[in-house]
Every structure is written in structure tokens, then in C-alpha cells.
Structure 1
Amino acid sequence: MNGFTYGMVNPLLAYLIATIGAGLGLRCTVRALALPPERRRGWLLLAAGAIGCGIWTMHFIAMLGFSVTDATVVYNVPLTLVSLAVAVLVVGLGVFYVGYRPAGWGTLLVGGVLTGVGVAGMHYLGMSAMNVGGTVGYKPLVVVASVAIAVFAATAALWMTLNIRGFWSSVLSALVAGVAVTAMHYTAMQAVTVRLSQDLRPNGTPAAEFVLPLAVGIVVFLTVSAIVVAMSPHDSDRDRRKDDEDQERIQVLLFDGKTRGL
């Protein structure tokens, strides 16, 4: 099985999408944590969507670069779409857990495990949708290593989100998360073994026929999400403006009081 059919084009594009999705998701989580609990839901939903869609698109862009000698790789489209839903839902569980539980190592670890399992679950469910006209097997130890990488990556990204709030720190955390998620994918692909059979015919749809249109839609979603994050003022900005307005009101009142005293 060759994972670099088109050289480094697919790995680099996959890393870029993973980084963008992680960056948007982490920024949305930061925005959510700056709000009262009753106002966090919208940002956390956007975070789950950005991270889940980002890792799913990363996975299938990377898969477009995989080929099996003397075999055609096709996919079960409904099961592939289920893998997208699983990515968003399970990552959402981890993000919401962190968003509504008291800060601490327990919350961080549970959130990291949930989010990491979502990443790994999406990958292996997506792989189960793959059909090559043969039997696909996995090396157990490499599978365990890939899941461990996913959990570690998710936990590290959430830790940076909870403890490092600056913009450039968030950029760094997104770059790290992108590396880790992409590394998890290519580690997991090392676990794959394929045995072709002349009696089995691949039944499904080539990835290029459905992944690319979906990927375009997801990129549009991520772009709109980025615009929303960029144009939405942070609560610290609101607080600063409110403080400035309060100071102006106080000064006006003081000046008015002095004028009346005169």
C-alpha cells in the first residue's frame, strides 16, 4: 500500500486542513470559556463542527494519496458520511465536557480522551468504508499507538486552549494539533494490511467522486466560521469598551456635579 502516490501534495494539504480546523475549533472554545455557562453553547457547537469537519476532510484528502497495487480503492458513501457525523458528535462531547465542567486535570483528561477517541473513531470507521476487492486487516500494536497519539494530541491541544489565551499561542497550538492529527493518520495507515482476492470485486464509489465536493463544502464552512470568529469581538474587547464608557459617564457626572456646585 502506497501512501504517497502524489508525493507530498496530499500530506501537506491534509496538514493544512487539520491545522485550520483545529485552530478555529480552539479559538471558538476560548471564546466560549470567556462567557457565562448559559451563553457558551453556540461557540462550542461551532468548535465541534470546525474540529470534526477539519479532521474528516484531512483524513480523506490524505486517503486520496493512498493506492493499493493492482487494486481499485472505492468507498461505501453512507458509512463514510456516518464517520463524519461521528467525528463531529464525539469531538463535540469532549469540547462540551471541557466547556461546562470546572477547570482541572480531571476535566482536561476526560475531554482529551473523548476528543481523541472521536478522532480515532472517525479514522477507523472511515477505513471500514474502504473496499479494495480483498481483506483489510490491522496490526494491533500500531492501532493502539495511533489511538494514543490521537488522545495525547487532543489533550495537549485542550491544555493549551485552557492555559494559553493569546492569539499567537493559539496559532502555535493549532500548528501542533495539526501535526499530531496528521501523524495519527499516517501512523494508523501503517497498521493496515491488504490481501487481494480475485473472487472479491470492489463495490462502492471512488473517493474523488464524492470526497472533493464534500471537501469544498467543508472548506466553505470553515471559511465562514473563520469570518465569524474574526468579526466577533472578544469579551475582553467588550469589557474594555464597557470600562471606557463607564469612565466617560463618571467623568461627565463629576464634571456636571462640579458645574452645579459652581
Structure 2
Amino acid sequence: MGEINHFEYGWITPALSYALSVLGSALGLVCAGRIRTATGAGQRAWWGLLAAWALGGTAIWAMHFMAMLGFAVGGTRIRYDVPLTAASTAIAVAAVGIGLAIVGTGRLTGLRLLAGGFFTGAGVAAMHYTGMAAMRLDGSLAYDPLRVALSVVIALVAATVALWLAMTVRRALAIIASALVMGIAVNGMHFTGMSALSVHLHEGRGAATGTEVSGLLVPIVLAVVFGVVGLVYALLAAPSDDDRAGAAYVAARLDGAPSAAPAEPAPDPVGLRSRSTLAQPGAPFPSRRSTDRRS
């Protein structure tokens, strides 16, 4: 039986994995909020793709890989199968994308939420155990069925809550609080699944095939960094509601069509509008006598 250490580098890896899950959850919630305000199918698909990458790629998969950096088994080195590792990434992003597509089209109902949560949660669990199957070491892996089932239940519940938050949360403070809770749920699912693992070392130990974690670290870190920067840039570059309203107003004025004036009038610090009838179209010009009587 191989001795398992989940925190080989102390609390650095779990802290970083939690930070990644919170960051990805926050970006994903903001992108999911843009799905609700999108004006066309193309925009909804674009923001859905970004939300799937933020939640599936950063909050879930990057968190998983960061936590795995602290995983070690005494007596053997750990390597990874690159195609399976890439497949686990695709599973996470696709699962979140399917869930967002289910809950983000049409009116949000309980049935849609449960269906989206089921697909997303099952995908998250599949991502985790696919990533574990990508490990190559001088031993065989075994799992406690009860803890595996518990990790799947946590994934299903966490995914359902995450999709509900993605479709309902709008305020900045609520997004931050939701991201903190989602980070706890994602990490809880991961470490519950890891606690179900046991490793039986082989008698004749040979060199395990696969890629060292150091060979995967640099490209994965670069992918995460560029992905986060791209998400932030996309959010900052996207026009806001005020920008769209202003553009529509200017376009209507240029076309000569009647349009509503901006909703908020210019500031009136001294109360001039309350003293003048000029603000009302068609009102007669006030005479000096009536003005003096008013004052």
C-alpha cells in the first residue's frame, strides 16, 4: 500500500486551488449575467462560451490540476497521460456549456435547473475521475465506492447551485459571495473524491510512462493566465447598457426619427427648473409682474 500525501507542499496548493476556483467562478458568473442581457443568438453563444471556459476551465479544471500538484505517493513518481489530461479539460468545459445552454434558453424553471445541474454535475465528476485516470505511476488505483458516490452527489448539488446563481445573481457583492461559496463546493468535491483513493504499489517497480508534471506545468499555467486575461478583456471591452442606450439614441437622432431623450436630466443644484415654466413645452413666457409676485 502506497502512502498518500495530499499536501506535499503544505497549504500552498490548496490555497491556490481555492483562489483559482473563486476567480473562475466570479468571472463565470459575470459572463453568465451577460447571457441574460444579450440581444442575439450570436452574443448569447459568445458569452455562454466564455462562461463555460471560466467555470469549467478555470474554476473546476485548473483548480483540480493545482490541487494535484500537491498530491504524492510514497515510493513512486507520478506522471500524466497528456491526451487524457486534455480530454478532462474538454469534459469540464463541455459539461458547463451544456448546463448553461439548458438553463439559459427560455424561462428558468425547476425542471431546466435540475436537468442542467445533472449534466453539469455528471460532467464535473467525469472530469475529476478522467483526470485521475490520466495518472501514471508504479501501482494501481482503487476507490472507496461510498466516498466516490458522495463526491458525485456533491458535484451534482454544487453544479445545480452554481447554475442557479449564474442565472439569478447580478449585484457585485452577491457575485463575490457566490464565488466564495462555489469555491468551497468545488474544492470539497475534489478532496472528497481524493479521500476515496488508495494506491497499491507493484512488486516489480518499473518506469511509468507519461509526462512529468513539470512538463505540463508551464503550458497549463500559460493557458490559465491568458484565459483569465482574455476573459477580463472581453468583459471590459463589451459595451454596457448605458453605451447601448446612448448609441441607439444617437442613431435615432441621425436618422431623423423621434426618440426619447436621455432618462436622467442634467443636474439642477439650485432648483432652477422648479422656478421656471420654460421646462414645460408650450408654456407662456412669464411676465416680470408674475415673476415678482412669485418671489
| 1:1-262 superposed matches below 5 A | 1-36=4-39, 38=41, 39-54=43-58, 55-201=60-206, 202-235=208-241, 238-239=244-245, 246-248=260-262, 258=282
Structure 2: how far apart are the matches of 1:60 and 1:97?
Answer: 27
| Distance of 2:158 and 2:183 partners within structure 1 | 9
Shift of 1:100: 1.1
CA separation in 2, counterparts of 1:164 and 1:3?
34
Q: Quote the Cα distance in structure 2 between the aligned partners of 1:248 and 1:143.
A: 57
**1:189: Cα distance to partner?**
0.3
Q: CA deviation at 1:214?
A: 1.5
Superposition deviation, residue 102 in structure 1: 2.2
Identify the range of structure 1 (7-16 vs 231-240) with the bigger mean alpha-carbon deviation.
231-240
Q: Distance in 1 between matches of 2:245 and 2:110?
A: 29
TM-superposed CA distance for 1:235, in Å, is 3.4
Closer, same or farther: CA 104–239 of 1 in aligned 2, 3 Å? farther
- Structure 2 CA distance, aligned partners of 1:248 and 1:47? 32
Identity of aligned residues (%): 40
- Greater percentage in helix: 1
Please give the alpha-carbon distance, in whole angstroms, between the structure 2 residues aligned to 1:45 and 1:236.
24
Gaps of 5+ in 1: none
SS in 2 for 1:45: helix
**Displacement of 1:152:** 1.1
8 Å Cα contact 1:31-1:235 kept in structure 2: no
Structure 1 counterpart of 2:80, which letter?
Y
* Alignment deviations for residues 138-165 of structure 1 (CA, whole Å, 9 cap, x no partner): 1111011111111111111222222231
Judge which range, 207-216 or 58-67, deviates more: 207-216
Where relative contact order (Cα < 8 A, 6+ residues apart) is larger, the structure is 1
- Corresponding letter in the other structure for 1:11: P
* Structure 2 counterpart SS, 1:194: strand
Deviation at 1:227, TM superposition (A): 2.4
SS where residue 136 of structure 1 aligns? strand
Q: In 1, are the aligned partners of 2:118 and 2:160 still within 8 Å (CA)?
A: yes
User: Against the structure 1 CA distance between its residues 95 and 200, is the aligned structure 2 distance closer, same or farther, given a 3 Å change threshold?
Assistant: farther
1:230 aligned partner, one-letter code = L
- Asked if the contact 1:64–1:208 (Cα under 8 Å) also holds between the matched residues in 2, the reply is no
Q: Is the 8 A contact 2:121 2:159 kept in 1?
A: yes
- Output the CA distance in 1 between the equivalents of 2:89 and 2:262: 51
Which whole-Å CA distance do the structure 2 matches of 1:209 and 1:22 have between them? 27
Query: Matches of 2:98 and 2:64 in 1, distance apart?
Result: 20
The one-letter amino acid of 2:169's match is I
Specify the code of the residue in structure 1 equivalent to 2:261.
Q
**More off after superposition, 97-106 vs 2-11:** 97-106
**Residue type at the aligned position of 2:22:** T
Give the whole-Å Cα distance in 2 for the aligned partners of 1:29 and 1:37. 15
Q: Which moved more, 1:35-44 or 1:83-92?
A: 35-44
Larger radius of gyration: 2
Contact between 1:134 and 1:195, CA under 8 Å: does it hold in 2? yes
